Amino acid sequence: MERIAVLTSGGDAPGMNAAIRAVVKVAASRGVEVLGVRRGYDGLIDGDVQPLTRRLPGGGRLAPTADVETMGSLGGTVLGSTRCPRFLTSDGRLEAARRLRDAGAEGLVVIGGNGSMAGAHAFAVDTGFPVIGIPASIDNDIGLTREALGVDTALNTIIEATDRISDTARSHHRAFIVEVMGRHSGYLAMASAVAAAADAVLLPEQGRSYDEVIAAVADAIRASFATARDKNRVLVIKAEGVDIPTHHLVNEVSAELADLPQVEVRGTVLGHLVRGGSPSFRDRLLAGRFGLTAVEGLVGGATDVMAGWTYGGERGVPTSDPFIRLFALDDVLVETEALMDGTSAVTMDRVRRMEAIQGVLAL
């Protein structure tokens, strides 16, 4: 294999640039040139590529271009990302493969979320072009990997924000409802609630009705501010996927607590703040490990697979890294569906553990 291409697709996540850098450095070390595809699958169909490796004068060895050297610490994606309706069609995917072959590429690394992995699988099936996925999504909603790129950075951002909110909440004896991203997956809310010592957490996976959500928050606030307990702040973390707008929830809960006029409830939606930022150490390390195993996989003839941080067990193909395996993309997509609809053993275990500590959170 002499030349491969790499792209980022779907929602951006911190660590995407570190993964591009890893792919380029590993490929260059093995004498494989790398083309960066701008704007995800859109750029693939349009043939919008730039070289990410260059030949050094003299011996002709390959090295990363100057922008690759500096990109690893940046959030977002320097190659850009789009949602691409054309890639949903077979014609679009065939055109993309033709463009790649014209550019001399023999393999493709797709860094993206679960939609991008579905696209990579459809691309491999339709065109036979070798492709390997690297999971990147702050929502942690991709099957067969413990974590996707961006999750650790997003969690660090959330706990920094909730620490700041807790400072002001304690000063005024207030209750705060903080909404974090996660339309279909409550993972960020769940994990940050433990780390931030929240008093309650609201997840789409709990399947609570509108009234149950309001009652749960009101109960948590009432119990925390009761004379016998007398906390000085209440923090409730709500996943975006819980289908009540946060300002609405604040109003409903305040009405529910009308008998406690001294209790003030406030809401903050962290939104896209959680998506940006320089990747954490762990996301950079994971990006390096995914990048290494993806390039080794492509060069070794693997295709239609995703590098995943394994839970252990026998599934997937081992790599040179004991904690990373290559999983068939169709298995990844089946497990991703199950993560979303709550039938995955991983989701059930997360919800069970969360329910087990609800009482502890409230203490």
- Which residues of the shown chain bind ligand ADP in the complex (CB under 6 A)? 9-11, 41, 83-84, 87-88, 112-116, 118-119, 122, 137
Q: Cβ closer to ligand ADP: 83 or 208?
A: 83
Spatial distance between the Cα atoms of 358 and 169, rounded to a whole number of angstroms: 21
Can you spell out the DSSP letters for 115-167? HHHHHHHHHHHHH---EEEEEB-TT---TT-S--BTHHHHHHHHHHHHHHHHH
Q: Cβ closer to ligand ADP: 9 or 293?
A: 9
CB of 42 to ligand ADP, least distance (A): 8
Q: Cβ closer to ligand ADP: 116 or 310?
A: 116
CB of 62 to ligand ADP, least distance (A): 29
Angle at 167 between CA 251 and CA 193, to 5 degrees: 65
Cα 284 to the chain's mean position, in Å? 13
Spatial distance between the Cα atoms of 61 and 294, rounded to a whole number of angstroms: 21
Q: Please report where in the chains the tokens 């991008």 appear, as a residue.
A: 116
Q: How far is CA 182 from CA 139, 147, 238, 340, in A?
A: 5, 14, 9, 11
Task: Lay out the sheet containing 3-9: strands in order across.
Answer: 49-51, 33-37, 3-9, 108-112, 131-135, 305-309, 324-328, 317-318
Count of C-beta atoms within a 10 Å radius of residue 195: 13
Q: Cβ closer to ligand ADP: 11 or 182?
A: 11
CB of 96 to ligand ADP, least distance (A): 10
CB of 15 to ligand ADP, least distance (A): 13
Choice among 42, 46, 102, 139 that is catalytic = 139
Active-site residue, 139 included: yes
Task: Give the residue nearest to ligand ADP (CB).
Answer: 115
CB of 124 to ligand ADP, least distance (A): 11
Q: Please report where in the chains the tokens 């008093």 appear, as a residue.
A: 199
Q: Cβ closer to ligand ADP: 111 or 265?
A: 111
Catalytic residues: 139
